[in-house]
Amino acid sequence: MLKIEPDRLLNDLKRLRSFGATGTGVVRLSLSPADMDARRWLAQRMSEAGLSASIDGVGTVFGRSRNDGPALLIGSHTDTQPTGGWLDGALGVIYGLEIARALAECGETRHLAVDVASWIDEEGAFSGFLGSRSFVGESVDAAIRSARNREGVLLGDALEQAGLAAAPRVRLDKTRHKAYMEPHIEQGGRLEAHGKSIGVVTTIVGIRELRLRFTGQRNHAGTTPMSIRRDAGAALVAFIARMNEAFSQLADADTVWTVGRIELDPGSFSVVPGSADMCLQFRDAGAERLRAMEAALAALIRDFNAQEKVSVAMLDGEPPEEPVTMDAALQAHLASAADALAPGQWERMPSGASHDAQVIAHHVPACMLFVPSIGGVSHDFIEDTAEAHIVLGCEVAANAAARILEAMRK
Amino acid sequence: MLKIEPDRLLNDLKRLRSFGATGTGVVRLSLSPADMDARRWLAQRMSEAGLSASIDGVGTVFGRSRNDGPALLIGSHTDTQPTGGWLDGALGVIYGLEIARALAECGETRHLAVDVASWIDEEGAFSGFLGSRSFVGESVDAAIRSARNREGVLLGDALEQAGLAAAPRVRLDKTRHKAYMEPHIEQGGRLEAHGKSIGVVTTIVGIRELRLRFTGQRNHAGTTPMSIRRDAGAALVAFIARMNEAFSQLADADTVWTVGRIELDPGSFSVVPGSADMCLQFRDAGAERLRAMEAALAALIRDFNAQEKVSVAMLDGEPPEEPVTMDAALQAHLASAADALAPGQWERMPSGASHDAQVIAHHVPACMLFVPSIGGVSHDFIEDTAEAHIVLGCEVAANAAARILEAMRK
């Protein structure tokens, strides 16, 4: 069994938390002063761990093992949401650092190569998954020229300001990087509900984000009888009920759908809404199920428009994100390490949230490991994970990393 | 039969339309320059008709017949909504003016007294029904001190600016004012749908305006399974469905209810709403039915809170408005004039909208007559009524006025 140092792990996580600390939470938006301070500290800690560390031309911190490959790349992100928690992203990066140190300190594993990354802007302050997208070779030049954060600052100007504009961009080296591992907090309540300590991720779910607009007739709410109304809001409510029924028939226990926003126009007591918009998101680990849900929605829209006095149309939504399957062999190594260190305390599960792993998995075999989120909460100041779970997760990840690296060399 | 002059009636309506004309609509908010110009013109036209005209201390234009009472008071309002139509309110005021002239021009009726009013601020730019409330003796001093329009101007300052602050306020004289008549456009589509030209109003409906708040748990829309969600938005949608069912069982063809506004918090694709608000209004001519609907709603809330994972609470709403019945004898005079001038073309109906008549009816017997609104539209630039209906409505109102006044003197 590979040993990690729990105190060193926890202390590094707590030190990272201090950059941008706000109450129990963290405000560390990409390329902000707090974020850049954290990145410089992280590069320093990587160097102290024997890695060759740098901050690249988009802001990704990359610590390269001085050992020859094949290498396992371990990463996540240290930027946060506008009101973020201390572990989201940070956990996986510090796990990578600790695993690199643990491998180097053990005679049997010190020849193995772990590279560690903190990808820039996973949270999309400027452009989501910027670091991992740049790493796998997607062009980010358009984003650098035109993406702005909510203060209106251009990404290119922020990189200039951070002194990174001229720095080289780190790129995937397929001759070296043979696997990617992203440890992360679960961000949901499933492990806690099931009394488990470790999740081995099977798939990162696919996402559809759609806007529906209902168009009826705006009217006086006192003088327009119910029988002749064309109430766009009432139509929206009726549509959601039918949609819930249709989706329920297609769903399994992990399928989720959310109406996150409803707007009625003009939005007053005394006016029958003439127009009504809703934002709909649905997620599932199965590409086929997502397509079935899309088809069911299209059929509902057709039927609605054929039968009802209010029409419904789909507006432009976000581009679809397809589900991404985690590599089976890597999952097996995680499962075997979990079985050894936490027998009966782990389970396989999909990731309902998005991660850099879904970008990288298209180019390199990838896997993810989850630790429980207390109360299922993340993206919130109260986000937390029990210290025992933080330590156990790192032990499982470290031992899986050793097994993965040994297997690569066979 | 008392004769009116259709051209004079229509020309005065068109002249009044020119104050604040905006495209086919009118923007003539209470005490605005356009509104004050219109009021001065109206007072002048009243004087020319032989009435003793003045603009009172809150802005109401009052034309008093020089004949002794008993008098019939005919009125409505010449202020408009922010994007108003040309007939809403204006029609009834110019009907009053034309009826006063028609009575004075006929030997048999020239001894009868019709007073004419254009009540200030029916539409509530500062404080709804200000003129009629002041007229019946309600205190409006608090409103004068504190009510502001949407530009932030204090009512008291607007009155000062208009040169009215020191003017006397006209008051109901119960020894003189024995009846009130308010002719108005229907503002709905019932007369048009039924192919009728005249509506005799039975009741002005009562109104309830309530806000409901659903409280669940905000969560990540990707990582929170449907089974453990406490989705405030989904709960709101389910509640509305139950409410529609309960209200449908209590309703008659004239009962209306409207969810005019829905807000989900925080209102984004990726977050399960933790809180959801809705604005609910319902109207009915029957006080008992309104109370039954309130009771049904209270029962739904109780059941919901007992069964569901999301709680619902009623927030502060608007004070209830009870239905106001129009005087039976005055209705009979309107019906008899309609029968004579438009046999088979009229019907009795409730008013789904609010009117100054509901304020005055608590103090003096009151009645209302409706003419059709094209397409049922009002409070909109395209609001209109066929000229033939405008003329017919005035003829019916004039002959009913003569009958009412003759009956008063018996």
> What does the H/E/C string look like for chain A?
CCCCCHHHHHHHHHHHHCCCEECCEECCCCCCHHHHHHHHHHHHHHHHCCCEEEECCCCCEEEECCCCCCEEEEEECCCCCCCECCCCCHHHHHHHHHHHHHHHCCCCCCCCEEEEEECCCCCCCCCCCHHHHHHCCCCCHHHHHHCECCCCCEHHHHHHHCCCCCCCCCCCCCCCEEEEEEEEECCCCHHHHHCCCEEEEEEECEEEEEEEEEECCCEECCCCCHHHCCCHHHHHHHHHHHHHHHHHHHCCCCCEEEEEEEEEECCCCCEECCEEEEEEEEEECCHHHHHHHHHHHHHHHHHHHHHCCCEEEEECCCCCECCEECCHHHHHHHHHHHHHHCCCCEEEEEECCCCHHHHHCCCCCEEEEEECCHHHCCCCCCCCCCHHHHHHHHHHHHHHHHHHHHHHHC
Q: In terms of residues, how long is chain B?
A: 410
Determine the residue among B150, B265, B269, B379 to mutate to test chain A binding: the one whose Cβ has the most chain A Cβ atoms within 10 Å. B269
Q: What is the DSSP letter of B376?
A: G
Q: Is B220 annotated as a binding residue?
A: no
Is residue A8 within 8 A of residue A98, CB to CB? The reply is yes
- Which residue of chain A has the CA closest to B354? A222
pLDDT digits (tens, 9 = 90+) for A43-53: 999 999 999 99
Task: Show residues of chain A in contact with B204, CB under 8 Å.
Answer: none
Task: Please report the pLDDT score of residue B191 as a whole number.
Answer: 95
Considering only CB atoms, A188 lies closest to which of B220, B257, B379, namely: B220
Residues of A annotated in the binding site for Zn(2+), as ranges? 77, 88, 123, 184, 379
Distance CA B264, CA B366 (A): 44
Q: What percent of chain A has pLDDT over 90?
A: 93
Would you say residue A219 has pLDDT above 90?
A: no
* Averaged pLDDT for residues A6-16: 98
Closest CA–CA distance from residue B106 to any residue of chain A (Å): 37
Cα dihedral B137, B138, B141, B146 sign:
negative
Would you say residue A315 has pLDDT above 90?
A: yes
Which has more confidence, A271 or B334? B334
ipTM of this complex prediction, to 2 decimal places: 0.88
Closest CA–CA distance from residue B1 to any residue of chain A (Å): 32
User: What would the two tokens of residue A186 be?
Assistant: 């679960």
Would you say residue A410 has pLDDT above 90?
A: no
Beta strand pairing call for B61-64 and B52-55: antiparallel
Closest CA–CA distance from residue A192 to any residue of chain B (Å): 12
Residues of A annotated in the binding site, as ranges? 77, 88, 123, 184, 379
CB contact under 8 Å between A223 and B353, yes or no, is: yes
CB contact under 8 Å between A227 and B264, yes or no, is: no
Determine the residue among B223, B247, B290 to mutate to test chain A binding: the one whose Cβ has the most chain A Cβ atoms within 10 Å. B223
Considering only CB atoms, B271 lies closest to which of A238, A256, A260, namely: A260
Q: How many CA atoms lie within 13 A of A395 on its CB side?
A: 18
Task: Show residues of chain A in contact with B233, CB under 8 Å.
Answer: 259-260, 262
Task: Show residues of chain A in contact with B223, CB under 8 Å.
Answer: 186-190, 351-353, 376, 378
Question: What's the angle, vertex CA A215, arms to CA A209 and CA A219, rounded to 5?
Answer: 140
CB contact under 8 Å between A222 and B231, yes or no, is: no
- Which residue of chain B has the CA closest to A222? B352
Residue B177, classed as helix, strand or coil, is strand
Domain locations along chain A: 6-204+323-409, 206-315
Residue ranges of chain B with pLDDT lower than 70?
none
Distance CA A389, CA A369 (A): 12
Task: Show residues of chain A in contact with B269, CB under 8 Å.
Answer: 209, 258, 260-261, 279, 281, 318
- Which residue of chain B has the CA closest to A267? B261
**Looking at domain A206-315, which CATH architecture does it have?**
2-Layer Sandwich (3.30)
Give the count of beta carbons closer than 10 Å to the beta carbon of residue A295. Answer: 12
Task: Please report the pLDDT score of residue A292 as a whole number.
Answer: 98
Considering only CB atoms, A224 lies closest to which of B189, B240, B255, namely: B189
Determine the residue among A217, A258, A316 to mutate to test chain B binding: the one whose Cβ has the most chain B Cβ atoms within 10 Å. A258
Task: Show residues of chain A in contact with B261, CB under 8 Å.
Answer: 264, 267-269
- Residue A170's alpha-carbon distances to A64, A117, A187, in angstroms, are 10, 10, 29
Considering only CB atoms, B264 lies closest to which of A205, A261, A272, namely: A261
Considering only CB atoms, A379 lies closest to which of B220, B261, B378, namely: B220
Task: Please report the pLDDT score of residue B359 as a whole number.
Answer: 97
Task: Show residues of chain B in contact with A207, CB under 8 Å.
Answer: 222
> In the structure, what pLDDT confidence band is assigned to residue A268 with cuts at 50, 70 and 90?
confident
CB contact under 8 Å between A220 and B318, yes or no, is: no
Q: Give the number of beta-carbon pairs within 8 Å between A and B.
A: 182
- Which residue of chain B has the CA closest to A254? B225
CB contact under 8 Å between B225 and A254, yes or no, is: yes
Identify the bridge partners of residue B208 per DSSP, sorted by sequence position. B282
Task: Show residues of chain B in contact with A376, CB under 8 Å.
Answer: 219-220, 223-224, 228
Task: Please report the pLDDT score of residue B166 as a whole number.
Answer: 96
Considering only CB atoms, A228 lies closest to which of B187, B189, B207, namely: B189
- Which residue of chain B has the CA closest to A239? B237
Task: Show residues of chain B in contact with A150, CB under 8 Å.
Answer: none
- Which residue of chain B has the CA closest to A251? B226
Considering only CB atoms, B241 lies closest to which of A188, A237, A259, namely: A237
pLDDT digits (tens, 9 = 90+) for B240-264: 999 999 999 999 999 999 999 999 9
Task: Show residues of chain B in contact with A270, CB under 8 Å.
Answer: 258, 260, 281
Task: Please report the pLDDT score of residue A317 as a whole number.
Answer: 79
CB contact under 8 Å between A283 and B352, yes or no, is: no
Distance CA B83, CA B248 (A): 33
Closest CA–CA distance from residue B233 to any residue of chain A (Å): 7
Closest CA–CA distance from residue A376 to any residue of chain B (Å): 8
Residue B70, classed as helix, strand or coil, is coil
Considering only CB atoms, A262 lies closest to which of B207, B233, B257, namely: B233
Task: Show residues of chain B in contact with A187, CB under 8 Å.
Answer: 220, 222-223
Q: What is the DSSP letter of B144?
A: H
Assign domain A6-204+323-409 to its CATH superfamily: Zn peptidases (3.40.630.10)
Q: What percent of chain A has pLDDT over 70?
A: 100
Q: Is B56 annotated as a binding residue?
A: no
Task: Please report the pLDDT score of residue B363 as a whole number.
Answer: 98
Closest CA–CA distance from residue B392 to any residue of chain A (Å): 22
Task: Please report the pLDDT score of residue A83 as a whole number.
Answer: 87
Give the count of beta carbons closer than 10 Å to the beta carbon of residue A118. Answer: 32
Is residue B367 within 8 A of residue B179, CB to CB? The reply is yes
- Residue A335's alpha-carbon distances to A180, A204, A223, A370, in angstroms, are 16, 17, 66, 12
